Amino acid sequence: MDLSESQTLLMACLCARWCGTCGSYEAVFAACAAAYGARVQPLWVDIEDDADLIGGIDVENFPTLLLARDDALLFLGTVTPHAQTLSRLVASALAGDLKPAAADAESATLPRRLRAWAAARQRGQNIS
C-alpha cells in the first residue's frame, strides 16, 4: 500500500546538543525533509532538553531515527549519518515497505507523544 497520498509520515531525529554528529546531521535531515515536502512531518528532538518526552527509552547512539505512520511505529533505531540511508528509509516507509515494528509500551506510544509535543510547540509558536 502506498501511504504517501493518504498519511503523513512522522520522521523524527533524536539527538543531543553535545553530539557533534547530530550537528552535522541536522542539515542532512532538513534536506531530506524538504525533498519529501508535505509527505513527511520532520521533528528534531533533543532527548535531554525534552527528557520527559523520551522517558526511559534507550537511545543507544546518535543519530537515532524514528519513523511512524499515525501511531504505528515503523522504525526506531540508530542510523549512519548519511543522506542515502535516511532517504532510503523514508522512501521505504512511504512506499509501505516498512511494517509496524515490535516495541515496548513506552516506545510504541512515542509517536503519539511526539505528535502531541509538536502540536503543542506549534501552538506555542503561534501564540507568541
Partner 1 sequence: MNTAHLTASPPASPPAGPTAAASGVCWAEMVTHRSYLVRFAQRKLRDPLLAEDAVHDVFEAVLSGRAVFAGRSALRSWLTAVLKHKIVDSVRRNAGTDSLDELGDPDGEGCRALALECPQPRPDQIAEQHQLLMLMLQRIEALPPGLRDAMRLRVLEEQSTEAVCRELGISEENLFVRIHRARKQLLS
User: In the complex with partner 1, which residue's Cβ is closer, 18 or 24?
Assistant: 18
Please state, in angstroms and rounded to a whole number, the distance separating the CA atoms of residues 29 and 57: 22
Interacting residues toward partner 1 by CB under 8 A:
16, 18, 47-48, 51, 55-56, 58-62
User: In the complex with partner 1, which residue's Cβ is closer, 54 or 68?
Assistant: 54
Least distance in angstroms from the C-beta of 73 to partner 1: 18
- The three-state secondary structure class of 103 is coil
Least distance in angstroms from the C-beta of 70 to partner 1: 26
Amino acid at 60: E
Burial of 66 (0-12, 13-18, 19+ CB in 10 A): buried
User: In the complex with partner 1, which residue's Cβ is closer, 63 or 111?
Assistant: 63
Least distance in angstroms from the C-beta of 16 to partner 1: 7
User: In the complex with partner 1, which residue's Cβ is closer, 59 or 91?
Assistant: 59
Least distance in angstroms from the C-beta of 28 to partner 1: 19
- Who contacts 14 (Cβ-Cβ below 8 Å, separation ≥6)? 45, 47, 54, 59, 62, 63, 64, 65, 66
What's the first-to-final CA gap in the chain, in angstroms? Answer: 40
